[in-house]
Amino acid sequence: AQSVTQPDIHITVSEGASLELRCNYSYGATPYLFWYVQSPGQGLQLLLKYFSGDTLVQGIKGFEAEFKRSQSSFNLRKPSVHWSDAAEYFCAVGGANDYKLSFGAGTTVTVRA
């Protein structure tokens, strides 16, 4: 069975500081990994995805994520957070022959001035 764990329910970070959100996955084959962001009252927007190749992937809004197979992790990072980054972030896993994404419970990010 596939699953995603996001250990941090809520993170507060100062504007301009760095941000790292953790994601651990369980998947029986080669995983496809995704990070989505959801602003209040909005749908989910894809930040970045990893299918294969370079394990450090760049996404929109200055985000990046690193795939570490040995740790079953796909952590999301941003060097300098902006107030507009306050949102909920979801990690998701699927597979090449899969039709279903499994999402983590999400991490809420609060940005303080």
Partner 1 sequence: EAGVVQSPRYKIIEKKQPVAFWCNPISGHNTLYWYLQNLGQGPELLIRYENEEAVDDSQLPKDRFSAERLKGVDSTLKIQPAELGDSAVYLCASSPGGKTGELFFGEGSRLTVL
* Residues at the contact surface with partner 1, assessed by CB under 8 A: 4, 9, 32, 34, 36, 41-46, 49, 90, 92, 94-101, 103-106
Q: What are phi and psi of 96, to 5 degrees?
A: -60, -35
Q: Which of 17/96 has CB closer to partner 1?
A: 96
Residues 74, 59: Cα–Cα separation, whole Å: 13
**Nearest-approach distance from CB 4 to partner 1, in angstroms:** 7
Q: Which of 57/106 has CB closer to partner 1?
A: 106
Q: Which of 11/15 has CB closer to partner 1?
A: 11
Residues 76, 71: Cα–Cα separation, whole Å: 14
Q: Chain-centre distance of CA 103, in angstroms?
A: 10
